[in-house]
Amino acid sequence: MQESLFPNVLNYHFISWKEANKHILSSDCFNFDSPNVRNILLNDEKNNLIISSEFFSTAINSGFNYGYFSYGISHKLKLVFPEAKVLIFIRRQQSLIASAYQQYVKNGGTFGFRRWLYSGEVFWFEHLLYDNLISHYKKLFGDDSVYVYLYENLKEDISAFTKKFCEEHNLEINWEKINFNPINRGLRRITMPLLKIINHFYKKPLGRKRYICHIPGMTLIGKGVVKYLNPMPIFGRYLREDDFLKPKDLEYIKNFYSQHNQNLTKYVSRDDLEKFGYFL
C-alpha cells in the first residue's frame, strides 16, 4: 500500500510515512498546532490527501505503552482532518505475531521468541485487540467514516482486492506502475540465527535487546544478510507460524483474543474471520 499503490494514485496527494510521522507522531501533544499541520500537508489543489503510517497505532515492536500512543495520535488526526475517512487493516493475530518477531530480528533484536512474546518488554498482547481500536475510531470519526479490511483478503488475491478497494474509494490509479510482488518477505531458517548473532555486536536505538559490544559497520552487515542472503533458497525455507507458536502459545492466544475477535463480526464478515483462522 505505502510503497506501490498509494504513491501511484493520480487524484490524491500521498504523504509518505516519514513525512506523516514528522508532523503527526513526532510533535508535542500539548503544543500541537493542528491548523499549521493541515496547511503543510494539504498542498494539493483538490485537497485530496492520503496519509498512511503504521506508527499511528504504535509500531508493534515499539511497545504499546498502555495504548496512550495510539489514543493520542487518533485525537491529533481528528484535530487535523475531522472529515477524514479512516482505513484500518487488521491481520490474524497468530500470523502477525510470527511476522512481527521476524521484523524485530531484522531491526536488530536479539531476544528469544518467548521473551519477546511474554515479557512485555517489546510486544504487548493488548496491542492486537482490534475491536478496541476500531470502536474508538468510529466514536471519534463516525461509523460511516471508518472502513475495516482483512490483510488475508488482500493476500488471497492482491490484484482483485486492490482493484475493488480502489473502486470503493474512487482512486484513479496508474496501473502500469503497480507492483503486486511481495516487498517485505520473512526470514529463512538459517538467516534468522545468523542475524541474531550479528545483532549482538552493535547497539542500535531499538531499546530492547542484548548486545556484547558495538562494532561499527555491523548494521550494514545485518542489512546485507536480509537483502542479499535471505532471498537465496540455500539458506533454507521461509519460517512459518508453527516454527514459533507451539500448542501452549496458541492456547494462550486463543484465550486472550477470542472474545474480542467475536466483536469484530460487527465490522467484518464472520465467515471471512473463520475462513482465515481468527480465534472466535
Residue type, 49: L
The residues spanned by each domain of the chain are 6-93+125-184+257-275
Query: If you average pLDDT over residues 223-241, what whole number do you get?
Result: 95
pLDDT of residue 25: 87
Report the interhelical angle of 93-106 vs 247-263 (nearest 10°). Answer: 120
Give the integer Cα–Cα distance in Å for 216 and 210.
16
Q: How confident is the model at residue 64 (pLDDT cuts 50, 70, 90)?
A: confident
At residue 102, does pLDDT exceed 90? yes
Residue 60 has pLDDT above 90, yes or no: no
Q: What is the pLDDT of residue 67?
A: 85
Say if residue 168's pLDDT is above 90.
Answer: yes
pLDDT of residue 179: 83
Q: What 3-state DSSP class applies to 206?
A: coil
Helix axes 130-141, 247-263, angle to 10 degrees: 20
Residues of the chain with pLDDT > 70, as a percent, come to 98
Name the more confident of 134 and 174.
134
The grid cell for 224 is: 546485507
Cα–Cα dist 110/142, whole Å: 42
Eight-state DSSP code of residue 215: -
Q: What is the pLDDT of residue 34?
A: 92
Q: What is the pLDDT of residue 44?
A: 59
| Contact call for residues 116 and 127 (beta carbons, < 8 A) | no
Q: Please, which residues bridge with residue 51 across strands?
A: 15
Q: What is the pLDDT of residues 76-99, one digit of tens each?
A: 999 999 999 999 999 999 999 999
Phi (first) and psi of residue 81, to 5 degrees: -130, 70
What are the DSSP calls for 13-74, one per residue?
A: EEEPHHHHIIIIISS-STT--HHHHHHHH--STT--EEE--GGGG--TTS--GGGHHHHHHH
**All residues at 6 or more sequence positions from 230 whose CB lies less than 8 Å from its CB, including other chains:** 185, 187, 188, 191
Average pLDDT over residues 250-256: 97
Query: Residue 204's pLDDT is what?
Result: 79
DSSP structural state of residue 207: S
User: From its phi and psi, is residue 211 left (phi > 0), alpha (psi between -120 and 50) or beta?
Assistant: beta
pLDDT at 254: 97
Q: How confident is the model at residue 271 (pLDDT cuts 50, 70, 90)?
A: very high
User: By the 8 A CB rule, do 135 and 72 touch?
Assistant: no
Q: In this predicted model, what pLDDT tens digit does every residue of 2-41 receive, in sequence order?
A: 888 999 999 998 988 888 899 998 888 889 999 999 988 8
Enclosing H/E stretch for 222: helix 218-224
d(CA 46, CA 132): 33
pLDDT score, position 35: 92
Integer Cα distance of 169 and 268 in angstroms = 17
Residue 184: predicted pLDDT: 79
